[in-house]
Amino acid sequence: MAKNIYVGNLPYNMDDDGLGEIFKPYGEVTSARVIKDKFTSRSRGFGFVEMANDEEALKAIAELNGKDFDGRDLKVSEAKPREDKGNRGFDRR
């Protein structure tokens, strides 16, 4: 089963391909996505990587968490399911 990984504290010039390249030495990367600001299209400093093999993903998390990348210590962990934020305080009647 594929494992989704959260990656934080990314350099702001990071793109999807660059993020995937960080994880490729650890196994098959099925997707890599840097989250971007919808107005400026600039990286928000975090992203998500999906790896095909759970063991490889856990090894990547263990070895990359806290590792220096371009002067920034990466924050790498298993991604948590997204919370339903409801209507965010808007009454849509």
User: What is the per-residue pLDDT across 5-26, written as a single tens digit (0 to 9) for each?
Assistant: 999 999 999 999 999 999 999 9
CA distances from 58 to 11, 41, 70, 78, 92 (A): 22, 30, 23, 8, 42
- Residue-level pLDDT at 28: 97
Half-sphere exposure (CA, 13 Å, Cβ side) for 7?
A: 37
Q: Per residue in 73-91, pLDDT tens?
A: 999 999 988 776 666 566 5
What are the φ/ψ torsions at residue 50 (nearest 5 degrees)? -115, 130
Cβ atoms within 10 Å, residue 79: 13
- Residue-level pLDDT at 81: 81
Q: Where are the domains of the chain?
A: 3-72
Instruction: Evaluate if pTM is beyond 0.75.
Output: yes
Q: Identify the architecture of domain 3-72 in CATH.
A: 2-Layer Sandwich (3.30)
